[in-house]
Amino acid sequence: MIAAVAIVAVMAVMGGLIMVIAIANGGSRHVADAGYSTYPTTSSSEYSTTTTASDTSTTTATRSRDSTASRETSAGSTRETSASRTPSGPQPHHKLADNPLWLDSDVGLPNQACNLSRWANNANASSAFFESARPCLDSVWQQVMNYSKLPFRVPTVKYPSGKNWSSPCGDAGKGWAAFYCSQNETLYIPYDGLQVDQYGNKPGVYLAVFAHEYAHHVQALSGVMEAYWDARYDAGVDSAAGLEMSRRNELSAQCLSGTFLGSTVGRGGSVDQSMYRDAWGSQDRGDHNGGPRDHGSDAHAISWWQHGAQKNRMAQCNTWAANSSDVS
């Protein structure tokens, strides 16, 4: 039986947020300290090839910028006020359900081909695969962020090896499949954590993991991640309300991962129906083994990913506006 890949908790460490994927394999799990249309409540056993083409060429009215007062963050550092300096260019919005990322119901990822390096089950080939996927994600997300008048910067991607490694957000160890650190805007994708001995030669599985972590980068750039963490910290990180916020954040990243696969499948590049089908059927990344309820049920992890893949609309991934029953 293939062990499920479970996406685990979020924590603030040394001024940064770390978003982690770890492996649940029937035993202990590695855990970091941690309108709109109807949202999905059930998953589909049959994969769908139907996606909605996105249009980012239309114009919208200029949206106002947020003015953020100085406050203490969860890591104890003080942020500058907007009055102390005037930043140039688009700025993140410290908002959740009403973040500009979600507000235009017609905005989705552009449908474009993505040409990928051939996957093979070794570290060099896997890093080449992710490096070839990165410009595809950079391109489509830059267009969405520019259209939404939000900042965009390409993330760094690192491929650590060995049993333990470090990031500005903290240390990681064996069994961590992937994580995102907001402090240095870096995705960490260790080959040894991808569980290729279980999934085998199924690049769609790994592309979906990569797209999920990239979605956390988008959350950070938009201001959603900081707003989420501040709200969770205020509610109590491990309180019922705090854990629900964590589930909303992770399920939104699941949905955004789906939008990428759905937007590029069958567009003349490397993402064919086989790769899409493998991704579609591998999203059982919910909470397992009695751990904290910080990522949602398997059914919701599956259904939100599939919802994003089918709809390809940012607004459809706004878990912050969904009912609690849809993010349980």
Residue 74 lies in a domain: no
Confidence grade of residue 87 (pLDDT, cut at 50, 70, 90): confident
Token reading at 159: 């491929």
DSSP assignment string, 174-194: TTEEEEEETTTTEEE--GGGS
Residue 157 lies in a domain: yes
Residue 202 lies in a domain: yes
Q: What is the mean pLDDT of residues 80-84?
A: 43
Residue 147 lies in a domain: yes
Phi, psi of 154 (to 5 degrees): -70, 140
Q: What is the pLDDT of residue 295?
A: 83
Which one is predicted more confidently, 14 or 179?
Answer: 179
Confidence grade of residue 285 (pLDDT, cut at 50, 70, 90): confident
Q: What is the pLDDT of residue 3?
A: 29
Residue 56 lies in a domain: no
Q: What is the pLDDT of residue 163?
A: 77
Residue 172 lies in a domain: yes
Confidence grade of residue 265 (pLDDT, cut at 50, 70, 90): very high
Residue 62 and residue 286 in contact, taking contact as beta carbons nearer than 8 Å: no
Q: Among residues of the chain, what percentage have pLDDT more than 90?
A: 59
Give me the domain span that covers residue 178.
5-41+89-327
b/e code 44-79 from CB counts within 10 Å (16+ = b): eeebeeebbebebeeeeeeeeeeebeeeeebeeeee
Residue 66 lies in a domain: no
Residue 145 has pLDDT above 90, yes or no: yes
Residues 6+ apart with CB under 8 A from 84: 70
Residue 55 lies in a domain: no
Q: Please tell me the total count of domains within the chain.
A: 1
Q: What is the mean pLDDT of residues 129-149?
A: 98
